[in-house]
Structure 1
């Protein structure tokens, strides 16, 4: 009679890295988590930034750790103590999904088995260190969801050095899509092959992009290795889930925060603030979307067309959007920073008065997202 070993009796420990809002919005992340929980002890984390909003809207913040901002490869490294790790995403196409998985694997270099399940490309692939148990999970996922098992790409990286210039490719781009770096739009794609070039912390060129110089001017120091690059909408599946307040909200401490072209950092910078001042159109749109789930109003300083900004985007209740003349959002933003260092506003209304003082006749309109003017 065969005696079971301790390894046979021990439940499988499964780490899960969820990347991007789309895999959550479509309901696949919830379904896959339930299936995996039936086959082992699951620890799930978010890899990336904008997926936080989707996790909150789906009511999964109690099951998926969204407390830390970590890249997908960092999250994979964090879960190397698991028997296996599952990377879960929803790519635009099968090709871009396979490239994404290969890049994550090459950067993370995990010591445990890593498999990818892509609900957009509808495939499962073994990315690293396959084992009998990880192969069984991969086959089970593919069978349960009707996905195809594909061979992973050879190790692939999207970074290369050209002399003193760092070059990084942006995958899955469609012509006409906006390209953003750390939440700031730098231009519009003119080709499917898009590359961004950086030297000494500054974007010095690009291929396949019609650059937006005003956007480039707004970018502070950029480390292209760790920068968040995005093409198209920050949430392609927006509207599939109803926005909701986060059940993990922290207490308000009466302070305010200023977010200046760092929208990807909104959760970390402002999760315990009473209100937030945002500078720039893209920053206000992205940060506002995140902070609406935390119930934190924003005072946004923008210089674009504000028509429908409160209806077309999810903005926190009681927010105020101040539109200034074109090219003046940064100027007004700097003035506000200078004033706030001497006079700390205690409320959003007091901050609005400071903006009026700093902007003067540069103000074009003031829109309150609760309908008041």
Structure 2
């Protein structure tokens, strides 16, 4: 008679990396985690700003760790002590899902087995280090959800060198979609084949994109190899879940943050602030949507050139939007940054007074938001 050893009795430790808001909004992340919990102990983490918002809206913040902003590949590396890791995402198409999995696996190179389950492309693939155990889990997972088992695309060939320039290709792009780099829109896709060219940390050209020079000017130094590239909306499934809005902060602790075209960093930049000054239309829209879950009001400086990557988003209660003449949001934003170095407003209303002084007759309107 065979006796069980401690190793036999130990439950599997399954790491789960959840990427993007769509896989949460559609409910697949929760269903997949519940299924995996029937096969072992699950530790789930998430990276990315809008994914955090979706987790909060879904009421899953106690089951999915959103405490740190980590890329999918970094999260996979963090979980390589588990018996296997499952990457959950909801890509726009099977093609983009396969490419995404290849990129994550190529960057992470985990020591343990890595499986991808894509509810958008409806497939499961073993990305690296397959074992009898991980193959069995992958097959059962695919069968349970009616997905197809695919051979992993292990080659991450979306990057190449051309002389002293780096060229990065984007997949699954639709003509007419806005293209953003680290949250800043740089143009509109004119083709399904899109490539971005960078040299010495600056984007110097593109193929398949009608470039927006004003957007390029806003970008600081860019590491194109690790930059977050996005086509289309930041949350394609916005509206599927009711926003869980936080109660408005009323503290006058004098702590505030300025977010200038870095809306993806809103959680980190504003975690201890009583209010936030945002510069730019898309930045204000995205940061406002994120901060509405924390109850942190924003003072947004915009000029009406919203790029349409953030439809369906909400603003925190108590926020104020200052619309200025076209092309002036960045100029006034720089002035506010300079003024705030020596004069620190203790409240949003004091900051609004500063904006009025800096903008003068360039202000078109001032709108107060009630959080809806």
**Contact kept in structure 2, 1:105 and 1:155, CA below 8 Å:** no
**Contact kept in structure 1, 2:106 and 2:154, CA below 8 Å:** no
Where do residues 40-55 of structure 1 align in structure 2 (5 Å cutoff)?
Answer: 40-55=40-55
**1:218: which partner in 2?**
218
Give me the whole-angstrom Cα distance separating, in 1, the residues matched to 2:311 and 2:110: 44
Tell me: CA distance 1:35–1:366, structure 2 relative to 1, closer, same or farther (3 Å).
same
RMSD of the TM alignment (CA)?
Answer: 1.9
Give me the whole-angstrom Cα distance separating, in 2, the residues matched to 1:328 and 1:175: 29
> Do residues 242 (structure 1) and 242 (structure 2) align?
yes
**2:188: which partner in 1?**
188
Give me the whole-angstrom Cα distance separating, in 1, the residues matched to 2:271 and 2:240: 24
**Contact kept in structure 2, 1:106 and 1:157, CA below 8 Å:** no
Give me the whole-angstrom Cα distance separating, in 2, the residues matched to 1:214 and 1:311: 21
**Contact kept in structure 1, 2:238 and 2:313, CA below 8 Å:** no
**1:298: which partner in 2?**
298
**Contact kept in structure 1, 2:168 and 2:197, CA below 8 Å:** yes
- Count of residues paired in the alignment: 367
Give me the whole-angstrom Cα distance separating, in 1, the residues matched to 2:304 and 2:312: 14
**Contact kept in structure 2, 1:21 and 1:235, CA below 8 Å:** yes
SS of 2:226's equivalent in the other structure is: coil
**CA positional deviation for 1:370:** 2.3
**2:34: which partner in 1?**
34
**CA positional deviation for 1:286:** 1.0
Tell me: CA distance 1:160–1:80, structure 2 relative to 1, closer, same or farther (3 Å).
same
Give me the whole-angstrom Cα distance separating, in 2, the residues matched to 1:228 and 1:305: 22
Where do residues 1-373 of structure 1 align in structure 2 (5 Å cutoff)?
Answer: 1-245=1-245, 253-304=253-304, 312-370=312-370
SS of 2:264's equivalent in the other structure is: helix
Tell me: CA distance 1:343–1:201, structure 2 relative to 1, closer, same or farther (3 Å).
same
Give me the whole-angstrom Cα distance separating, in 1, the residues matched to 2:5 and 2:208: 57
TM-score relative to the length of structure 2: 0.95
Q: What are the Cα deviations for residues 88-118 of structure 1, in whole angstroms up to 9, with x where unaligned?
A: 0001111111111111101111110000000
**CA positional deviation for 1:253:** 5.0
**Contact kept in structure 2, 1:124 and 1:147, CA below 8 Å:** yes
Q: What are the Cα deviations for residues 214-247 of structure 1, in whole angstroms up to 9, with x where unaligned?
A: 1111111111122111100000000000000469
Q: What are the Cα deviations for residues 144-197 of structure 1, in whole angstroms up to 9, with x where unaligned?
A: 111111111132242221111111112221100000111111100001111111
Give me the whole-angstrom Cα distance separating, in 2, the residues matched to 1:195 and 1:305: 24
Which sits farther off after the overlay, 28-37 or 133-142? 133-142
Give me the whole-angstrom Cα distance separating, in 1, the residues matched to 2:328 and 2:91: 37
Q: What are the Cα deviations for residues 109-147 of structure 1, in whole angstroms up to 9, with x where unaligned?
A: 111000000001111110111112111211121111111
Give me the whole-angstrom Cα distance separating, in 2, the residues matched to 1:327 and 1:242: 34
Give me the whole-angstrom Cα distance separating, in 2, the residues matched to 1:47 and 1:7: 32
**CA positional deviation for 1:4:** 2.8
Q: What are the Cα deviations for residues 31-61 of structure 1, in whole angstroms up to 9, with x where unaligned?
A: 1111111110111000333211101100111
TM-score relative to the length of structure 1: 0.95
Tell me: CA distance 1:28–1:2, structure 2 relative to 1, closer, same or farther (3 Å).
same
Tell me: CA distance 1:126–1:311, structure 2 relative to 1, closer, same or farther (3 Å).
closer
Give me the whole-angstrom Cα distance separating, in 1, the residues matched to 2:116 and 2:186: 31
SS of 1:345's equivalent in the other structure is: coil
**CA positional deviation for 1:364:** 1.1
Give me the whole-angstrom Cα distance separating, in 2, the residues matched to 1:119 and 1:129: 22
Give me the whole-angstrom Cα distance separating, in 2, the residues matched to 1:245 and 1:337: 28
Give 5+ residue unaligned stretches, structure 1: none
Which sits farther off after the overlay, 227-236 or 163-172? 163-172
Tell me: CA distance 1:46–1:257, structure 2 relative to 1, closer, same or farther (3 Å).
same
